A and B are shown apart, each in its own frame.
Chain A
């Protein structure tokens, strides 16, 4: 029964995705004369934003890093009090949907890492249309069509990580296929199927190596965790030896703390996906939301999120996160057909849950 429901939802999502992604790419203009602020341009009414005095964000990003990002914005606009709710993508989106159905509007902006939710929300007219002057610096394929509903803010990507104290560099895997060596049985971790990055990895590696890849990975009995934090924690403590789908920002964060971690950039590429940002229709503080988005999408805001969360910016001229390399220098594997990617979600979740012992 669940399968039939998920099939129906997938069909709806695909239709929405095709409509949204293949429609004419209208490059909408921002306001006629954006105001130049300290390091960014804005079309928002700054006085009104300060009068609203509050900005509320829903996000999937880590709590401590988000608090730092909010503090950075608050430093520039001390009259605007910021608050946020952090949940995993599924729970966050469900919360938003339930609130909207009950006409309870609490949130101004949302960051979510799963494009399926983004397209679904756009289809439901859940995004406010606001063309930020800073959006011009982002590639067209990173923005909603028409422009103004959502934008990729940052890019997350996955490689392989190992602990050099438990795995000598010479023995560490060099490619995705090296991870399938039976010597790693019971010592590999992955994330749960709710992870958008895990879905992207599955989609891309299946395209490269076929179904057999994940059959062999399943034979290693990988353990699945909700977050990269637990994956790196266990590897640092010698409980697992390899992280399959190791989040790059997690590697940078643990490396900065001095943890024994090494990252492998497989030659075939790093599966990647976006963290998408957009303003919510019926936002209770629309001017503050617009001002935040302008600041966030600027080099200044992108630098702040890089420092707070070690995430790579989707903006070409923004610096990479501390200790990291720019996405331009990495071979990233994005799904080329997002509609097809979204349609595979039920099949992926079913296979992945079985592989990790959930079903």
Chain B
């Protein structure tokens, strides 16, 4: 039975993740006509040509490292403040801190271009009024990393928060009782105990940053600073298209990720990170005295930089007849919203994105939960192999993986090309790693002893899963669902090549608008998308709460 289950998991995961990679690997050796598939002429030329792209690879590594450090630092600090300390308005702040993740990555890049562009960025203009020269230049490696960390690094906060919420506060209390200070406790107790969440988040965020496109696209090109994804973008758009070079560049990142994954496995296997044990606990926040005002200020500063300022900048742009940061030449209008709403494509694209996000998240979470359990908990054979296969798409930039998916599904005699079905399959494939990382961090924190107790007390496997395991995993599952839903709504990379005339999604539509129509129209579209996502998430939370209340009234367990 074990072998059948393993084989089934391998078939599903392999079909989703490996099949497109086979096409990518083949194309990376194509040194003949790039339009011919399968290739007629094979060679190593695309890989040897990578030597010429050393500068671009170096730029990519620099930006990804800077952004990951910033994102994990922000994520850990904010997660600790909001889950472990008693500061006022925690629930609201938590929701606010998740907001950057709801926005399409392009939003942050466009907004920070307006705020901190050299010479005329709003912050620089303000600084010049105070007598200074240029204060900030967002079109640099640091600027790109900053925007990536703020808008694509929010996932680190969500993942680390999920791990911290599952941690028994008694451990921290013991530390305090034994005389350790708050900072000492945070660094020596909290940090090591949430290590799985942090390691998972770091690896995941690093992979995201390596494959990140929007910030490097909007902010890198004006500064003549190219990374792998922007070079791939140009390579796939060139004539003749340099698919081989793009595939080779994309797959080269895979090697880096392979090393990172191996390291993470090593770290996670060496320690025992179970913090949810048989001992009952109620999550309690630390009293931090007057320090809470400082911590509160840190949270609000982050909200200001990642939500208020960018949305304000976009709001301003969306009401302008032509996008300008020079206020004296601004002409205000509602025309951009009229145009955006009149474009039928925007409505259907947004609808499609919401639908895809909802369905893909709903399918992915149970699938990932089973896979994570198989890999980290069961003694089933092939667990490592399944994990490696599922993580494949994470290690390849989405833009390139999208090409692999295009070739892979075009040649299957099932007519799903150009439909939402293909986009759904593509999203499921590329978001499995996100679900996997989120759930893995949580699963590792659940002590096996709890399940063993249930079994010893006579519970069947199903009963044990329903009454012990699933309730313990629920915060992680909710976080994973939300992450995948949002990631689906704002997905850009794989959608670019897979959209059909009647299967459009929102993020590429906004990019297209920015590329070809106007910044002010794009700002209006991005804001409409952001508001719609906010409303959708608020509704989902409301529904979830009402369902939980219903269960509680019927005597069941609340969510």
**A residues near B, CB below 8 A?**
1-2, 4-6, 8-9, 56-57, 61-65, 67, 83-91, 93-95, 97-99, 101-102, 104, 106-107, 114, 116-117, 165, 192-194, 221, 223-227, 229-230, 233-234, 236-239, 254, 257-260, 345, 349, 353, 356-359
Contacts and interface: CB of A to CB of B under 8 A. Distances in A.
A106 B501 contact: yes
B342 to A, nearest CB: 8
Interface string B221-249: 11110100001001011111111110000
Contacts of A94: 35, 236, 241, 243
B239 A101 contact: no
28 contacts: A1-B43, A2-B45, A2-B245, A9-B33, A67-B345, A83-B501, A89-B237, A90-B238, A98-B407, A98-B410, A102-B411, A165-B326, A193-B238, A221-B224, A225-B221, A227-B515, A227-B516, A236-B323, A237-B323, A237-B324, A238-B326, A239-B118, A239-B222, A260-B329, A345-B239, A353-B234, A358-B231, A358-B234
Chain B interface residue number, banded: 35 or more
A86 B500 CA distance: 10
Given A233-B519, A260-B329, A95 B497 contact: yes
B501 A89 contact: no
B500 A5 contact: no
B140 interface: no
B517 to A, nearest CB: 4
B128 to A, nearest CB: 12
B38 to A, nearest CB: 10
Contacts of A114: 239
A229 B110 CA distance: 14
A64 B223 CA distance: 28
A85 B500 contact: yes
Interface in B497-514: 497, 499-502, 504, 509, 512-514
B513 A63 contact: yes
Interface string B523-545: 00000000000000000000000
A165 B245 CA distance: 43
B210 to A, nearest CB: 19
B234 A5 contact: no
Contacts of B46: 1-2
B343 A9 contact: no
Contacts of B518: 64, 229, 233
A313 B407 CA distance: 37
Contacts of A88: 237, 515
A230 B411 CA distance: 37
A106 B512 contact: no
B34 interface: yes
A99 B240 contact: no
List the 3 shortest-distance A-B pairs measured between CB atoms, nearest first. Answer: A1-B45, A62-B516, A357-B224
Interface in B33-62: 33-35, 37, 43, 45-46, 48-49, 52-53
Contact of B117 (A8, A227, A237, A357): A237
Contacts of A9: 33, 240
Contacts of B322: 233, 236, 254, 257-259
A207 B364 CA distance: 58
Contacts of A95: 406, 497
B519 A5 contact: no
Given A1-B31, A86-B516, A357-B224, A63 B497 contact: no
Given A91-B496, A226-B515, A257-B322, A358 B226 contact: yes
A238 B501 contact: no
Contact of A223 (B224, B321, B343): B224
> Which residue of A56, A61, A99, A104 has the most chain B CB atoms within 10 A of its CB atom?
A104
Given A1-B46, A67-B345, A194 B502 contact: no
A93 B504 CA distance: 18
> Which residue of A93, A114, A194, A227 has the most chain B CB atoms within 10 A of its CB atom?
A194
A91 B514 contact: no
A343 B375 CA distance: 55
A117 B496 CA distance: 20
Nearest to B44: A1
A17 B64 CA distance: 45
A63 B226 CA distance: 26
B418 interface: yes
Contacts of A65: 517
B516 A61 contact: yes
Interface in B102-118: 117-118
A257 B321 contact: yes
> Which residue of B34, B37, B512, B517 has the most chain A CB atoms within 10 A of its CB atom?
B517
A64 B410 CA distance: 29
Contact of B515 (A1, A99, A229, A257): A229
B252 interface: no
A101 B224 contact: no
B515 A106 contact: no
Contacts of B237: 88-91, 192, 194
A123 to B, nearest CB: 12
B104 to A, nearest CB: 15
Nearest to A254: B322
Nearest to B221: A225
Contacts of B221: 223-226
Contacts of A236: 322-324, 329
A317 to B, nearest CB: 28
A229 B516 contact: yes
A154 B34 CA distance: 30
Given A5-B31, A227-B516, A99 B410 contact: yes
Contacts of A224: 221
Given A85-B500, A221-B224, A357-B226, A90 B509 contact: no
Contact of B240 (A6, A104, A193): A6
A5 B32 contact: yes
A148 to B, nearest CB: 24
Given A1-B43, A2-B244, A229-B515, 8 more contacts: A57-B501, A64-B343, A85-B504, A89-B239, A106-B418, A193-B238, A229-B516, A236-B322
Contacts of A57: 501
A359 B329 CA distance: 37
B78 interface: no
A260 B66 CA distance: 38
B119 A349 contact: no
